Amino acid sequence: MSRALQAILLLSAAALLARLAVTGEYLYYVKPSMLPALVASALVLLALAVFAGRDAWAAAEEGPDCDHAGHGHGHGTPRAALLLALPLLTVLLIAPAPLGAFSAQRGSPPPPAPAPAGGFEPLPAGDPVEVTVSEFVRRATEGGGPTLAGRRVVMTGFATPNPDGGWWLTRMVIACCAADAYPARIAVRGADAPPADAWVALTGTWVEGTGSDDGLLIPAVAADAVEPIARPASPYQR
């Protein structure tokens, strides 16, 4: 593998990280806290690409023999390194979207974190009060129902058709990257299903008793209003 090709492959890896960092699309793939690591890696790879390009230039001027006799390490690079261009091509050609209804239907969430010692704090003041989908699920399933009862909440998520009928308000939760994502799901009552993957802000009230009664740990919300919204920049929740 020539040094010029090596430089291009290093550059494509740097370009992948730089593009995702600059466009903010990195949030489709990894946690927000990864941004500094992505930028630093892109800079290191860019520097490596520049050096490799300079070596290629120098080798071309000296003639091919010098490279063979002199250092020659470049020839050990496996052809699999060509695949380093593939992630960048995928991002440019397929333009992946954040994981949505397809993954939310398939995934199975771990049991939510148990109630904090001393029980759940009451929800903040406000009507409706803003909560995350996963926080709603956690309170409903882990004995925090009294803090939800009678409170109007507003939550953002995307619509996922329930294969058994009806629809869920869903949000993907990631621990590390999208490969380990699992869904937080709330069954919606009293509102027509938006198209799959449509992002909405849902205002409603917990249906008392749901979430811990069925073993599936999917609580239900009685919807007052379902408003379409734009997809948030950070599509996953912790």
Partner 1 sequence: MERAAVSGHDHGHEHGPGGGLGLAGPIALLVVLVGVAVAGTLAGDALDGPRLGAFATVFVSIVVQALPFLVLGVLLSAAIVAFVPRELAARALPRNRALAVPVAGAAGMALPGCECASVPVASGLMRKGVAPAAALTFLLAAPAVNPIVLAATWVAFPGRPEMTLGRLVASLAAAVAVGWLWTLLGRTEWIRLPGGGDADDGRPRWLVFRRAVAHDFLHAGGYLVVGGLLSAVINVALPPHWVDSLAEQAILGVLVLALLAVLMCICSEADAFVAASFTQFSPTAQLAFMVVGPMVDLKLIAMQVGTFGRAFAVRFVPVVLVVAILMSVLVGWVLL
Using CB under 8 A, list all residues that contact partner 1: 1, 6, 9-10, 13, 16-17, 20, 26, 28-30, 34, 37-38, 40-41, 44-45, 48, 51-52, 68, 71-84, 86-87, 90-91, 94, 96-103, 105-111, 113-114, 174-180, 182, 197
Q: How far is the CB of 182 from partner 1 (least distance, A)?
A: 6
With respect to partner 1, which residue has the nearer C-beta, 107 or 143? 107
Question: Which residue type, as a one-letter code, is found at position 149?
Answer: A
Long-range contacts formed by 37-40: CB under 8 A, 24+ apart: none
CB 170 within 8 A of CB 105: no
Q: How far is the CB of 47 from partner 1 (least distance, A)?
A: 8
With respect to partner 1, which residue has the nearer C-beta, 108 or 127? 108
With respect to partner 1, which residue has the nearer C-beta, 100 or 204? 100
3-state secondary structure of 228: strand
Residue 70 CB neighbours (<10 A): 10
Report CA dihedral (227, 229, 231, 236) to the nearest 10 degrees: -40
CB 200 within 8 A of CB 221: no
With respect to partner 1, which residue has the nearer C-beta, 113 or 125? 113
Q: How far is the CB of 6 from partner 1 (least distance, A)?
A: 6
